[in-house]
Amino acid sequence: MTAPFTHDFTDKVVVLTGAGGVLVSKFAKEYARAGAKVALLDLNEEAAKQFATEINEAGGIARAYKCNVLEKESIQAARDAVAKDLGTADILVNGAGGNNPRATTDNEFHEAEGLEDMKTFFDLDQDGISFVFNLNFLGTLLPTQVFAKDMIGKEGTSILNISSMNGFTPLTKIPAYSGAKAAISNFTEWLAVHFSHVGIRVNAIAPGFLVSNQNRGLLFNEDGTPTARANKILSNTPMGRFGDAEELIGGLLFLTDEKAASFVNGVVLPIDGGFNAYSGV
């Protein structure tokens, strides 16, 4: 990655939830590369430890912590451990989130006939819906309640949330995830106002469509050709391609860098190849 100036996070403590995943662990590596001490929080402690080890072996400073973002006691325990090991948080990246098949329909449109073998809107599992919404929304709100307390009175503190294209326009099939990401965008703006008098900036990035291990099977057929859903995405992305995780890093570092974005507050930044700007015609 190149930038007009160097992002310097030396001595900053950056806490990242969902850091046992490929994407947020990449965020952690970039913060460490920029000098930060990074705390990788995840329910999957072993995955977080693996990425922390990679960061430390590359010369960075990282520690991994088991954390359930839906249990406040678990978050508080992680906070106490981070404070003891690295210091109190300067930056919080709320990276935990995701979707679940139990909250996903098989059909894009409800039709009068031909839905006998499909999971429709009426078949969605209530527990699955609750899980998806809570993971994304409460999984952002609760860590913010715990870690933001330590940010009050410190200079250069900020929170970064992860929204989505769903936060602007809901995608078909995934109503719980779409609703949760819309809530994240709204919550980001709410927090930005709420904390504005105590110096905590709050922003979000809204990634467009990236290819990951989790969604590769949905986007590509076995022969490597795009699926019908992938073709819809590509035809509605003016740049005509999927994004790469590396292309999120510039927005991530910019929004949390006090030198670069000291007057940027309450922004939800699309990083989407123009998807959100395109009407389809």
CATH of 13-208+246-277, one of 3.40.50.720, 3.40.50.620, 3.90.1150.10, 3.40.50.300: 3.40.50.720
Burial degree of 100 (CB within 10 A; 0-12, 13-18, 19+): middle
Is pLDDT above 60 for 3?
no
Q: Give the pLDDT mean for 73-88.
A: 98
pLDDT at 212: 77
Q: What is the mean pLDDT of residues 57-76?
A: 98
**What pLDDT is recorded for position 214?**
67
At how many degrees (to 10) do helices 139-151 and 175-194 cross?
20
pLDDT above 60 for 1: no
Whether the per-residue pLDDT at 2 is higher than 60: the answer is: no
**161-177 per-position pLDDT tens digit:** 999 999 999 999 999 99
Mean pLDDT throughout 130-145?
Answer: 98
Residue 155, number of CB atoms within 10 A of its CB: 8
């990242």: which residue's tokens? Answer: 16
Cβ-based neighbour number of residue 238 at 10 Å: 11
Q: Give the pLDDT confidence score for residue 119 in this predicted structure.
A: 94
pLDDT attached to residue 60:
98
Is the CB of residue 166 less than 8 Å from the CB of residue 174? yes
What pLDDT, on the 0 to 100 scale, is given for residue 6? Answer: 83
Question: Which of the residues 31, 65, 177, 278 is marked catalytic?
Answer: 177
Average pLDDT over residues 193-217: 91
pLDDT of residue 129: 97
177 is catalytic: yes
Six token digits for residue 206: 């809204």
Over the chain, what is the mean pLDDT?
A: 94
Q: What percent of the chain has pLDDT over 90?
A: 88
Q: Which residues have C-beta within 8 Å of that of residue 19, sequence separation ≥ 6?
A: 25, 27, 28, 38, 39, 40, 41, 42, 48, 51, 64, 95
Q: Mind giving me the DSSP string for 182-222?
A: HHHHHHHHHHHHHTGGGT-EEEEEEE--B--TTTHHHHB-T
Strand partners, 13: 37
Quote the CA–CA distance of 166 and 46 in Å, as a whole number.
30
* DSSP structure class, residue 134: I
Among residues of the chain, what percentage have pLDDT more than 70?
A: 98
Phi and psi angles of residue 94, each rounded to the nearest 5 degrees, phi first: -85, 85
pLDDT level of residue 56 (50, 70, 90 thresholds): very high
Q: Give residue limits of the domains in the chain.
A: 13-208+246-277, 213-242
For 44, other C-beta atoms within 10 Å of its C-beta total 14
Please tell me the predicted confidence (pLDDT) of residue 48.
98
Query: For 146, how many CA atoms within 13 A lie in the half-sphere containing its CB?
Result: 27
Mean pLDDT for 228-239 is 92
